Amino acid sequence: MNVTFSEKSAWGSLAALALVAYWYFPKAFAVASSGDEPVKLIVISVICIVVLILIEVVYHVVIASTGRSSSDERDALFDLKASRNGGFVLGFGLFSLVGHIILSSIPEGMSQPGALSIAVWILLTITVSEIAKLGFQIYYYRVGS
Amino acid sequence: MVGTRVRNNIRALRFDHGEMTQQELADRVGVTRQTIAAIEKQKYSPSLEAAFKIAAVFGEPLDAVFSYEPASR
C-alpha cells in the first residue's frame, strides 16, 4: 500500500479528533452558556481526553503492527509545513476571539462572553487548528509539495 | 497535481541496475519506499543529502540522476 505510517497516523488522528470534537463541543457550549455547572464541563472534558487518548493508542498500535513504522525527511517536512499552516489558523482564531471580546465590551449594556464560554472557544480554536494541521499534512501526502 | 521542477531518471536507473526495487533503493538511501515513489513521480524534491545518496547508490554523479527545469517566462 502506498501510504506511510505517518500518513496513516494523520488520517487516524484527524478522524478521532473530528469525532470527539463533534461530540464534545455542542455539549461544552451548552454547559458554558448555562453557566451553572462548571464541574460538568470538567467531567465531559476529561471523558473526551481519555477517549481520544484510547482511540489514538489503539489505532497507532494497530497500524504499527501491520507495517513499517519508520519516518523520513519527507514526513518531517510535511509535518513542519502543516504545523506552520495550523499555526496560522490558531493565530487567526485567537485574534478573532480577542477582537470579539474587545468589541463586545464597547457598547454599553451588551452581554459579555463568560469565562467558561471563552475557555470553550479557545479549546475549539485549538481543535480546529489541529484539524487544519492534520488536513494539510494529508493534502501534502496526496497532492505533493 | 503540485509537481516539482526537479526532474530525475531514477526509474530508468533502477531498471539498469538489476531491476532494483523501490524498497531496495529506499533501504540503501534511508528513506521510506513511499518517498522514493514520490520522487520518481516528481511529487517531492529530495533533500540535497538524499539526492547525493541516491546518486551514490547508482554510482553516478548528481547531475546524471537529477536535473532542474527552470520556470518558463
Residues of A in contact with B44 (CB under 8 A): 74, 144-145
**What pLDDT score does A115 carry?**
86
Cell of A67: 507495517
Nearest-CB residue to B32 (from A4, A143, A144): A4
**What pLDDT score does A97 carry?**
93
Q: Quick check: A72 contacting B, CB < 8 Å?
A: yes
Split at pLDDT 50, 70, 90, the class of B70 is confident
As for the ipTM of the complex, it is: 0.84
Task: Evaluate whether A75 touches A8 at the Cβ level (below 8 Å).
Answer: no
Amino acid at A37: E
Summarize pLDDT for B2-55 with one digit per residue, the tens: 666 889 999 999 999 999 999 999 999 999 999 999 999 999 999 999 999 999
**What pLDDT score does B1 carry?**
52
Beta bridge partners of B8: B66
**What pLDDT score does B34 carry?**
93
**What pLDDT score does B73 carry?**
56
Residues of A in contact with B32 (CB under 8 A): 4, 68, 70-72, 74-75
CA distance B5 to B69: 5
| Segments in chain A below pLDDT 50 | none
Instruction: Give the pTM.
Output: 0.87
How far from A46 is each of A17, A20, A24, B20, B65, CA to CA, in Å? 14, 12, 10, 51, 54
